[in-house]
Structure 1
Amino acid sequence: MTIPNAAPETSDAAIAARTDSYFKRTRSVVEKFGDCHVTYAVFLRRPVISAPRLALDFLRTVAENRGTEFSIELPHEEGTWVGAGDPLLYIGGSFALLSELETIVLQKLGPACVAAHNAYQMCLELPNVAFLAMEARHCAGAEMQEMMAYAAAVGSAAAKREGAKGFLGNANDATAHWFGEPAGRGTMPHALIGYAGSTVRAAEMFHATFPDEALTVLVDYFGREVTDGLAVCARFPEIAASGRMAVRLDTHGGRFLEGLDPAESYAVLERHAPSAIRRYRSDTELRHLVGTGVSAAAVWRMREALDEAGYPHVRIVASSGFGVGKCRVMAEARAPIDVVGTGSFIPDAWSETYATADIVEYDGAPRVKIGREFLLRRNGARKKQG
């Protein structure tokens, strides 16, 4: 089937093209032998944070287009924790009109809920650190970009309710609305430093172009994070003193931050967080603590250098692989990070995002395949949404 370019995703043509064929054939059978009212239960096999809005918007739009109504019950409101196997949604309506929608509903629900849980955990591991969502470059197109930004915002809001700073925004305009912002945030990529020929010159160019904006400078391009970071501070002492300057550490995993090696990395943490390295660690945790790239030792060494040079108000932005595990290690090392830039709330194991739907009622009679009885509705355990 060819879908016209102008056809929205909620059109009958788009739905028919993107759904699994057995759902379309189910609709044909049901229309031939008689429709009935069914109730679907939708769940995931792992704990998540409820992030159903994109799926709900899709269902409501399709219902309007088809001149019908779908009842939607949320046992768990958006932003709340949901246990493994616990239904996220109950969807009721015409079997004929609902049967084709399962594929797309699951696509819109599962990944968002897992990503929201990841973002929630990251924020809680570093409750005093602000986060910036930088997931767009890792997304497979605009639809995933929208979904992941929404998920990060939901997870962030849940963490904020528990006292975390959470996400302050994101890096692009299209999805900034999820964070209550008019536009994305950011200053410069590595390419601008390569163009300028030096880190200081790149900072000068940026400041000349955007004189009223805070200045965050990448300092790893030439492998001189400390030297170049201090040089930028010396070039703009007033901005550095005002708290409107930050150095961003994005050192790749193939080398250490300037001046560090394994021995010196251990020495840095011995000075600042000795307990973090005195218990058993996995190889991954050790790498986050004292390894190459943006380690806890690297962050502490940058903070030492800034403070010793008289720049205590210059902030540190850290990026590069800040998932839940790395955030946890940074917290244990009390790494002095001010902002984390990350897209690592995107689910790493995509199989964990697979949502599943089962019909649990036919014309009001409870019925579900053997082994899925846990999906049957419990009295008083649901919240109805229009």
Structure 2
Amino acid sequence: MVQPSNGVETPGLKTACSSAPLPDPVITARTDSYFNRTKRIVSHFGDCEVTYAFFIRRPVISAPGLMLEWLKNVMAERNSPYTIDLIHPEGAWVGAGEPLVYITGSFTHLADLETLLLQKLGSPCVAAHRAYQIAVSLPHTKFLAMDARHCAGYEMQELMAYAASVGGRAAKRDGAIGFIGTANDAVAPFFNSTHGYGTMPHALIGYAGSTVRAAEMFHELYPETDLVVLVDYFGKEVTDALAVCRRFPDLAAQGRLGVRLDTHGGRFLEGLNPQESYAVVDRHAPEALRRYRSDSELRYLIGTGVSAAAVWRMRDALDEAGFPHVKIIASSGFGVTKCACMADAHAPIDVVGTGSFIPDRWNETYATADIVSYNGTERVKIGREFLLPSQRKAQKGSSA
């Protein structure tokens, strides 16, 4: 058989769990019944070659890798040749409704795959777009994908981690650092890594009884790992951060120590209130407060939780105490708007951990496929003529 290249070179794709082919009975059980019936009808009355056009109704970043890798493995199992025409390579911008990829092959062997192919296309494309937006909003900050706990099982986690890696690489091409890793070993290969990143949850600090003791425990067992300490457990972010720095001055001086801010939205970081928060941001980025702000944007600047004021307050405290090389890692709700507000306030964040690239409006992730050609004859339902290859070639020619 002819084994086509899918045109996607993504780290981790070859080992992706969801790329493994499923037995035909499982595919039958998981696909929509009308596709199964279509497969049987076509098999009975005679197969033909068809071309599917896949598209999404909103602008996205192309992230077809998991879908195409799964298709390749299934069609290899079925010994059925096929070809693809990837109109928008992985990481490219795709306009609303534009065909993303054409897949041509046996109607009999493609008919029952549509449901599962669509599941693997829409959500990662939207999530990749959101990851891209997040990363370019804070171009000088490293991002970690911390989406696993918010996913509905491992297959969704894999789709979201893949999306973050695609969006991060797209952002890197536009000058941002982007996503450098994830918190989970299983999907780390998408980021050219062998392991997930992370040091400790709040539970370890509760177990240890103090932030400093938790740091000591961690460092004793993982002395070669950079130490990142959560500092909000007791509501003494600045006090506990400085205590850890004084306990590990060598790590602090070497830039191997970081403090993670994860203050919840129900209170201010230690030492802050509305007035103090305003003063901190006004001192470092007064122009950020002069512009019009929505309530949510203002909260990201001077409100409770991990605000720009909180980040600046921590940076000031570390620098004044003689720890300028200690890094600040921030988490808690870092979506596009929050990242943009942090950038506007020049918040000195070294790393952001976020899962906020997961689409928040799931109906935007619905991908769609239409057959646009039967045995070489173009045909599509009324209203979808824009998907026809000839229409696209004509449009391309007229714009040239």
CA distance in 2, matches of 1:36, 1:208: 65
Q: Which amino acid aligns with 2:242?
A: L
Q: Does 1:146 align with 2:152?
A: no
Are the counterparts in 1 of residues 141 and 349 from structure 2 also a CA contact under 8 Å?
yes
CA distance in 1, matches of 2:176, 2:145: 15
Residue-by-residue CA offset, 1:201-241 (whole Å, 9 max, x unaligned):
11111111111221100000000101111111111111111
Match of 2:16 in 1: none
Match of 1:304 in 2: 316
Match of 1:265 in 2: 277
Question: 100, 120, 125: which one pairs with 2:132?
Answer: 120
Residue-by-residue CA offset, 1:341-369 (whole Å, 9 max, x unaligned):
11111111111110001111111111111
Are the counterparts in 2 of residues 246 and 315 from structure 1 also a CA contact under 8 Å?
yes
What SS does the aligned partner of 1:379 have?
helix
Match of 1:160 in 2: 172
CA distance in 1, matches of 2:107, 2:23: 18
How far is 1:186 from its partner? 0.8
CA distance in 2, matches of 1:305, 1:380: 62
Are the counterparts in 1 of residues 21 and 73 from structure 2 also a CA contact under 8 Å?
no
Residue-by-residue CA offset, 1:312-333 (whole Å, 9 max, x unaligned):
1111000011111111111111
Match of 1:344 in 2: 356
Residue-by-residue CA offset, 1:273-329 (whole Å, 9 max, x unaligned):
111111221121111111111011111111111111111111100001111111111
Are the counterparts in 2 of residues 131 and 169 from structure 1 also a CA contact under 8 Å?
yes
Are the counterparts in 2 of residues 10 and 61 from structure 1 also a CA contact under 8 Å?
no
Question: 361, 370, 373: which one pairs with 2:385?
Answer: 373
Q: Which amino acid aligns with 1:69?
A: P
Q: Which amino acid aligns with 2:343?
A: A
Residue-by-residue CA offset, 1:17-49 (whole Å, 9 max, x unaligned):
000001111112222222221111100111111
What is the TM-score normalised by the length of structure 1? 0.95
Are the counterparts in 2 of residues 317 and 340 from structure 1 also a CA contact under 8 Å?
yes
Match of 2:114 in 1: 102
Are the counterparts in 2 of residues 132 and 342 from structure 1 also a CA contact under 8 Å?
yes
Match of 2:228 in 1: 216
Are the counterparts in 2 of residues 9 and 15 from structure 1 also a CA contact under 8 Å?
no
CA distance in 2, matches of 1:69, 1:265: 63
Q: Does 1:80 align with 2:86?
A: no
CA distance in 2, matches of 1:206, 1:359: 56
Are the counterparts in 1 of residues 372 and 378 from structure 2 also a CA contact under 8 Å?
yes
Match of 1:31 in 2: 43
Match of 1:243 in 2: 255
How far is 1:103 from its partner? 0.4
How far is 1:381 from its partner? 9.4
How far is 1:9 from its partner? 4.9
Match of 1:325 in 2: 337
Q: Does 1:69 align with 2:76?
A: no
How far is 1:149 from its partner? 1.0
Structure 1 residues 99 and 381: alpha-carbon distance in aligned structure 2, compared to 1, 3 A threshold: farther
CA distance in 1, matches of 2:375, 2:233: 64
Q: Which amino acid aligns with 1:123?
A: A
Question: 173, 179, 183: which one pairs with 2:191?
Answer: 179
What SS does the aligned partner of 2:87 have?
coil
CA distance in 1, matches of 2:193, 2:78: 34
What is the TM-score normalised by the length of structure 2? 0.91
Q: Does 1:288 align with 2:316?
A: no
How far is 1:380 from its partner? 9.4
Q: Does 1:201 align with 2:237?
A: no
